[in-house]
Structure 1
Amino acid sequence: MDTHEPDDAPLDPAEGLAIVAAQRRRVQDTDIDDRVLFGTWGVLWLVGYAIQWWSAERSPTGTSTAPAGLAFGLLMVVGLVVTLTHIGRRSRGLRGTSRSVGTMFGLTWLAGFTAQGLIVAGVVRAGASPEVIALVANSLACLVVGLLYMVCGAVWQIRAMYVLGVWVIAAAAAASLAGTPGGYLVMSLAGGGGMLLGAVVAHVTRRRS
């Protein structure tokens, strides 16, 4: 008479592979895809800053016009929406402090860009030249984005976001030294192009692994 319980029976190899595959899919479903982050921001920066550079090249002041700035702002909003939506979907179902952290993260974005807008308004009120205003506006916005991405990557252990934050700050610093309108071209090619290169590297790495 067989005294073994049904649970003690050896696992069928096919069932074992199915379990492994299911666990792998669950991990992939909660994994932040660095190709999405780098690819999205790479395209938006490449296009957005190219528009700004094209506009500034034809402007007597050497800075981009209001329509170009508006187009750039809309592209950046698209990038934020894609980023936050991607992170929200991948982290859906996570418990603990994830919801409160997400709320505070969103409020931090709001506070950072509110402060950036007020500082730029103060610079304008102080009588700064259009070139100085453009440099301050771009540098502060990139600094806010870069630091928030670095903090987010460090807290949530998302290396892609941390690297993205570092690259944003580095590109903004180089663009500030280049001035306008050349700084816009630096942001487009070095910033956007560098992110697209990062997306390609991330894709190759994922394929190999």
Structure 2
Amino acid sequence: MASMDPSEALDLIRQERANTGRALTPDPRLMYWPWGLTWLIGFGLSFLRYGPDGRTLVALPEWVPLFGLTALMIAAGLFTGLVGARSGRSVSGPTSRQGIWYGIAWSAGFTGLAVVFGRISEVLPEHLMGLLWGGGMVALVGALYMAGGAIWNERTMFTLGAWISAVNVVGVLLGPGWHALVAALAGGGGMLAAGLIGWMRLR
């Protein structure tokens, strides 16, 4: 059998590495789009019920925005967790451990913020309470996405985290009501765009 040209061998190696990477990487649309829709709908409900300057744009029951966002977050978390677990079944060693530790970091971060914010909320006016919870949690998401992008050298994830962090600052500066709108459109829309861009790059 004729020996393979070195350049052909390198091309074959690159192709096989790319194929392996695609096989082990979950579809970015399945990882980002559920969260994008969650933010778009959940924060959108909050904006409609608790609009700028204390206005109620749509007379929804008070419990609807929080219940809707919480239910959507649980559903998105379960869905993306299953997708990530399926793609990582054949991965072991340091990479698998990184993923587990990264998931624990998300849980620990949200639990810690919830405990702190729960105590602080007791002394805050109602209109600032929502801004504290929304702005703080979105800030944590942005930071964790940037950390994940740095860990896995994933440009799309890091850029998304930077974008979420930036729009969160803008939303907080605009104030209660406006933050929910910014998080819904710019934050949720950014996740939808990240899923599409990641999918295109993966192809």
TM-score, normalised on structure 1?
0.76
CA contact (8 A) 2:52 2:177 kept: no
Aligned to 1:161: 157
The equivalent position to 1:46 in structure 2, one of 40, 59, 63, is 40
Q: Structure 1 pair 84/162, CA: closer, same or farther in 2 (3 Å)?
A: farther
SS at match of 2:176: coil
CA contact (8 A) 1:34 1:161 kept: no
1:66 aligns with 2:84: no
CA contact (8 A) 1:139 1:176 kept: yes
Aligned to 2:22: 28
Distance 2:99 2:13 in 1: 31
SS at match of 2:171: helix
Aligned to 1:144: 140
Aligned to 2:120: 123
Alignment of 1:171-190 (within 5 A): 171-190=167-186
Aligned to 1:87: 84
The AA in structure 1 aligned to 2:191 is M
CA-CA distance at 1:143 after TM superposition: 1.8
SS at match of 1:93: coil
Q: Structure 1 pair 60/139, CA: closer, same or farther in 2 (3 Å)?
A: closer
CA-CA distance at 1:164 after TM superposition: 2.2
Aligned to 1:55: 49
CA contact (8 A) 1:61 1:131 kept: no
Aligned to 1:132: 128
Structure 1 portions without partners, runs of 5+: 1-8
Percent of aligned pairs sharing the same letter? 26
How many pairs align? 195
The AA in structure 2 aligned to 1:48 is G
Distance 1:71 1:59 in 2: 22
SS at match of 2:124: coil
CA shift digits 1:78-133 (9 cap, x unpaired): 333333333333333222223332332232222211111112112122x2111211
CA-CA distance at 1:28 after TM superposition: 1.2
Q: Structure 1 pair 179/100, CA: closer, same or farther in 2 (3 Å)?
A: same
Q: Structure 1 pair 84/108, CA: closer, same or farther in 2 (3 Å)?
A: same
Alignment root-mean-square deviation, CA: 3.3
Distance 1:103 1:190 in 2: 29
CA contact (8 A) 2:145 2:157 kept: yes
